[in-house]
Amino acid sequence: MDVSVFSTKPYDRRFLDAANARLSQPHRLAYLEVGLNAETVLLAQGSQAVCVFVNDVLDAGVLERLAAAGIQLVALRSAGFNNVDLAAAKRHGITVARVPGYSPEAVAEHTVAMMLALNRNIHRAYARVREGNFALDGLLGFDIRRRTVGIVGTGKIGVAVARIMKGFGCGIVACDPCINDECVAMGAQYVPLDELLATAQIITLHCPLTPQTHHLIDAAAIARMQRGVMLINTSRGAVVETRAIIAGLKSGAIGHLGLDVYEEEGDLFFNNLSDEVLQDDVFARLLTFPNVLITGHQAFFTLEAMTAIAEVTLKNLSSFEQSGRANYEVSIEKLA
């Protein structure tokens, strides 16, 4: 199958090429560094499928043009699919496939790493020591043991976080429309979101981005949290309202903030902008806080996860080419 692979970095090529070489019938992969959007959609001409990542734009207009170009399959290199207009894809007869559960542990471990770094001020201590400053003032942390951790979204990643935090000796409260038996077996208590916000000293977000979860954490939600709460988001950027988060940091309502995602990350993340002036004033404001730790959407980025993403993505392509059905199709009916 001829596939236009958008938003590719050298590491994407490395893992996709390795997985493709293991197939009995390899695909013809055309790598494109640019992201997919209205301006680049014509680059997909001549392919039967496009392979895209989290910040590629697949709105109604782009999907219409993909269909006109003969594209039959959108193969996502991610579990999330909030960047795809599923109704438009169905209308144009385009199948959408994703990579579910590629490595929940990768994201969970990064989440906990952010908790530990923020609590013990490791990011600040690292910079100090490199400058010969060995003072401990301002680096005081707290014991995580016996703290209450609130987990919003208890799918595979949320469960993996619960498992780790249970090992730290934490209490777990959880919020999810679907109760996960594994979480319950670990002693997690499922509560309404308002109760979770009021109860937990550490809150970590692992829910998908949907109309219901867009800006789930806003000014009203922050007002319900314990003062000085630690908030971690490794899910999707728009689950939190950034301006409300900044107000919470300024007032002291939020004591620690860890972000691996940002609601306007499309023009920032996955690019080297070190020689440029940041044009996003809101993001630049976030960087001024000493109690904020931001990583550039790297929570998924492990050897195991990248291997799994490449293998499942290519299996989706192969299955669709052979049978007209991908292994992990996204069904719009299930979202209704």
- Return the active site residues: 236, 265, 297
> In whole angstroms, what separates CA 291 from the centre of its chain?
21
Residue 87 tokens read as: 């109704």
Asked whether 159 and 180 are in contact (CB, 8 A), the reply is yes
Burial class (CB in 10 A: 0-12, 13-18, 19+), 165: buried
Residue 159 tokens read as: 């469960």
Distance CA 289, CA 73 (A): 43
Residue 238 tokens read as: 């728009």
What is the residue whose two structure tokens read 């988001």? 233
Residues near 300 by beta carbon (within 8 Å), at least 6 away in sequence? 78, 102, 103, 106, 107, 309
Distance CA 30, CA 6 (A): 9
Concatenate the DSSP letters of all residues of 184-220 into one string: HHTT-EE--HHHHHHH-SEEEE-----TTTTT-B-HH
Radius of gyration over every alpha carbon of the chain, rounded to an integer in angstroms: 21
Nearest CA to 74 out of 311, 304, 328, 334 is that of 328
Long-range pairs for 274-282: beta carbons < 8 A, 24 or more residues apart:
282/242, 282/243, 282/246
CA dihedral 313, 319, 320, 321 (to 10 degrees): 110
Asked whether 71 and 46 are in contact (CB, 8 A), the reply is no
